[in-house]
Amino acid sequence: MSDVNENEAVLTKINEAQLYALGDAYADALLDETDVLLDEYAELEIPESLDDRIAAFSGRLSRKAARAARLRSVSKIGRRAAVVAVTLLLVTAAVTFSVEAFRIKFLNMIIEVSERFSSVRLEPTSPFDGTAALPNDWNAFYPAVIPEGFSFKRASSSAAIKNIIFENGKGSELRFSQSPASAELQLDTEGAEVSAVTINGMEGIISLKDGCTILVWHDDSFIFHLDGPADRAAMIKTAESVRKK
């Protein structure tokens, strides 16, 4: 019979309960020895550095536990917030699609927002420093950003109408003009996709035809006109950047 099997046989004889009792007696003997040691080393002082090290270790454990508890709390709040958000979304969807008027308005808002967002992402703009490029006596408006790829070509004025021309080096031009509110403008909208637009709180219309976008808007004093080969979102962004020199 091998040693291992013999030991296992011992264990079946002296079951674990008896080994526990044996351990208990051993502990008594061990601690009696320890008490003797404590008497022998009664004058031995425990270094403060040891207490400090253990206190520092304990502090690190506490901070780690506190961080873990905060993360669990944030995660729990995050999950609850997600549940609330999903619930609200489902409720909104249920309400939206059960009330026709609300549905139409809601969907139009989504379409407008997504178009605006996706359009801006497609064609970037770049800044235009009108104060440096325009004549010193240009006491009028100019766009502070223009569609990417365009640069200042020239500025002109006749009577009360101010024009700024930008070009992209490929033969295409972007035109910005400012006219008095009393001026008459003709806009070719036949076959064009025309819609209302608001530029910085001012009413306007935007027309898309044959790859060209025309944007006209006005306040009480002026009519602003912007036309060029840029897409709708870039033109709107250009229009919204218009400011006085």
User: Contact residues for another protein (CB under 8 A)?
Assistant: 3-4, 6-7, 9-11, 13-14, 16, 18-31, 33-34, 37-38, 40-41, 44, 46-47, 49-55, 57-58, 61-62
Smallest gap, in angstroms, from Cβ of residue 76 to another protein? 23
Q: For another protein, which is the closer residue by CB, 35 or 219?
A: 35
Q: Which whole-number Å values give the CA distances from 71 to 14, 63, 64, 76, 82, in the listed order?
A: 49, 12, 11, 8, 16
Block residue for tokens 């240009």: 138
| Single-letter amino acid code for the residue at 82 | A
Q: What is the DSSP letter of 245?
A: -
Q: For another protein, which is the closer residue by CB, 26 or 102?
A: 26
Smallest gap, in angstroms, from Cβ of residue 40 to another protein? 8
Smallest gap, in angstroms, from Cβ of residue 70 to another protein? 18
Q: Which whole-number Å values give the CA distances from 36 to 24, 32, 100, in the listed order?
A: 19, 6, 90
Smallest gap, in angstroms, from Cβ of residue 42 to another protein? 9
Smallest gap, in angstroms, from Cβ of residue 75 to another protein? 23
CA 219 to the chain's CA centroid: 34
Q: For another protein, which is the closer residue by CB, 41 or 98?
A: 41
Sign for the CA dihedral angle at 238, 243, 244, 245 comes to: negative
Q: Which of 163, 165, 161, 172 is nearest to 231 (CA)?
A: 172
Q: For another protein, which is the closer residue by CB, 39 or 210?
A: 39
Q: For another protein, which is the closer residue by CB, 49 or 158?
A: 49
